């Protein structure tokens, strides 16, 4: 099946089944909380801007809301503060969404007076997708100021601490982005019909920068569906290198992380290089090495390019740090995406491009969502995987691309159906 056919089929499916069902269910759910025909939703999201995956959470969820709840007014409370380039993504793609900035102090008081006005105006607070209850203080402030309901959408909740547990116990609903979090919540004494699985909102990402992507591809002679993208990753992200104020980075912790990364980086990436070499030698096509996080620009040469055989290197290009809209446009033109990072495969999937996710054990339980969505054939636990196995699966994709596209469509249809099913179940619970 062609990519165009994939997009049209999925769009038609959404229009005629999932979108209508989910939109009705979520509308009824919100109205049951607010008793208003046109609810106002305050979405707290936007955790950091050094990671296109973290950036992508927000426009993904905004697209969910604008698609399934077109009558709702959405206000975005961006946690990480103002960033001009990211702000342009919001204004360009979501012109109706008002964006506010402001922190919460130790007394759970908001620092932006405009937020208090928005608190009065809003009917519900929605905590966006992320690695944990990132905006716990924001949720706490909302509760103390308003007493109005709040919910959690597509969040990993691995071993929540006592503070987070107390907040989660008061949530109107909790959608975790993989099923392992549901088990963690049960151990914390939080369970019930209001808890369910809903994949990361990045699966609904629909933003693009075709102009910038087209210019990059043209200048590097990249032809559609004749190149693969590969994304490196160290076992533990070295946040201490670009965020010195990041809490919890003692000298001892830094030494441990650096030792782990040094020990594993060559062993991990040698396996990815095997697939790169086979792709170039057997297809004659190119490889684009690209980052999901800012720091990865500095490790591309060392781990993925310099060690390559001389006959392969001329076919390998690299891209500096970019934003998710350009990445989405490039991934949509790629043949496949192979990534140690979790969100580039999701962005690829949202654009109809097959992927292979090389999962490192340090990268939390969020990778479970791929198994939950029946993508297990495209997930490789890196400590249990050889480079030959990764190469073999990539070869299967290029040998029968139509079958890979069909598999991807089935998985993405499941993503949409899960949202519909879970929201309907939650709606039934709220209305009992």
The CA distance from 311 to 318, in Å, is 17
C-alpha triplet 293, 295, 301: angle, nearest 5°: 110
Tens of pLDDT, residues 113-129: 999 999 999 999 999 99
Give 360's contacts (C-beta < 8 A, 6+ positions apart). 233, 235, 264, 268, 340, 382, 383
The yes-or-no verdict on residue 146 having pLDDT over 60 is: yes
pLDDT value of position 8: 38
* C-beta separation of 367 from 359 below 8 A: yes
pLDDT at 15: 39
Mean pLDDT for the stretch of residues 126-146: 95
- Residue 196: phi and psi, rounded to 5, are -160, 170
| Predicted pLDDT at 230 | 98
- How many angstroms separate the CA atoms of 326 and 290, rounded? 12
The stretch 162-177 carries a mean pLDDT of 95
d(CA 287, CA 134): 35
Q: Which of 64-68, 76-80, 298-302, 314-318 has the lowest mean pLDDT?
A: 64-68
Q: Is it the case that residue 23 has pLDDT exceeding 50?
A: no
Query: CA–CA separation, 265 vs 275, rounded Å?
Result: 16
206 vs 20, residue with greater confidence: 206
| Residue 144 contacts residue 28 (beta carbons within 8 Å) | no
Lowest mean pLDDT among 8-17, 193-202, 211-220: 8-17
Rg (CA), the chain: 21
Q: Tell me which of 58 and 17 has the higher pLDDT.
A: 58
Per the model's pLDDT, the better-predicted residue between 259 and 80 turns out to be: 259
pLDDT at 406: 97
Distance, in Å, from the CA atom of 63 to the CA atom of 75, rounded to the nearest integer, reads: 13
Average pLDDT over residues 224-229: 98
C-alpha 69/C-alpha 192 separation (Å) is 25
Q: Each residue of 311-340: pLDDT tens digit?
A: 999 999 999 999 999 999 999 999 999 999
Predicted confidence band of residue 80 (pLDDT cuts 50, 70, 90): confident
Domains of the chain: 3-205+413-430 (3.40.50.11720), 210-399 (3.40.50.2000)
DSSP code of residue 202: G
Cα(362)–Cα(340) distance, integer angstroms: 11
**Res 430 pLDDT > 50:** no
Q: Are 327 and 52 a contacting pair, CB within 8 Å?
A: yes
């Amino acid at each position: 099946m062609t990519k165009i056919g994939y997009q049209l089929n999925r769009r038609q499916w959404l229009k005629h089944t999932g979108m209508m069902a989910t939109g009705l269910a979520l509308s009824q759910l919100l109205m049951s909380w607010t008793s208003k025909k046109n609810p106002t939703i305050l979405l707290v999201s936007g955790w950091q801007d050094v990671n296109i995956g973290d950036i992508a959470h927000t426009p993904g969820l905004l697209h969910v809301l604008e698609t399934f709840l077109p009558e709702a007014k959405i206000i975005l409370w961006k946690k990480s503060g103002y960033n001009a380039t990211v702000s342009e993504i919001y204004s360009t793609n979501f012109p109706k969404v008002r964006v506010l900035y402001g922190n919460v102090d130790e007394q759970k008081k908001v620092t932006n007076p405009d937020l208090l006005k928005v608190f009065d105006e809003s009917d519900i607070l929605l905590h966006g997708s992320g690695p944990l209850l990132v905006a716990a203080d924001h949720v706490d402030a909302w509760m103390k100021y308003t007493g109005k309901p709040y919910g959690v959408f597509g969040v990993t909740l691995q071993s929540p601490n006592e503070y987070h547990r107390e907040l989660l116990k008061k949530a109107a609903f909790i959608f975790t982005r993989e099923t392992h979090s549901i088990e963690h919540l049960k151990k914390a004494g939080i369970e019930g019909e209001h808890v369910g699985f809903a994949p990361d909102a990045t699966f609904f990402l629909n933003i693009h920068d075709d102009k910038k992507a087209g210019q990059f591809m043209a200048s590097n002679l990249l032809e559609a569906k004749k190149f693969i993208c590969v994304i490196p990753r160290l076992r533990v992200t070295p946040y201490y290198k670009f965020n010195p104020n990041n809490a919890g980075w003692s000298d001892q912790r830094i030494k441990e992380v650096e030792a782990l990364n040094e020990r594993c980086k060559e062993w991990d990436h040698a396996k990815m290089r095997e697939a790169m070499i086979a792709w170039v030698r057997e297809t004659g096509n190119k490889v684009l090495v690209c980052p999901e996080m800012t720091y990865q620009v500095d490790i591309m040469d060392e781990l993925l390019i310099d060690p390559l055989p001389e006959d392969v290197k001329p076919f390998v290009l690299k891209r500096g740090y970019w934003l998710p809209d350009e990445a989405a446009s490039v991934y949509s033109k790629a043949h496949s995406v192979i990534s140690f990072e979790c969100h580039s495969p999701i962005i690829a999937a949202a654009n109809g491009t097959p992927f292979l996710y090389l999962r490192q054990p340090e990268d939390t339980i969020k990778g479970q969502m791929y198994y939950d969505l029946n993508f297990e054939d495209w997930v490789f636990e890196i400590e249990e995987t050889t480079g030959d196995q990764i190469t073999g699966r990539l070869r299967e994709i290029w040998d029968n691309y139509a079958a890979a596209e069909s598999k991807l469509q089935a998985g993405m249809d499941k993503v949409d159906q899960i949202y519909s099913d879970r929201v309907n179940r939650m709606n039934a619970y709220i209305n009992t």
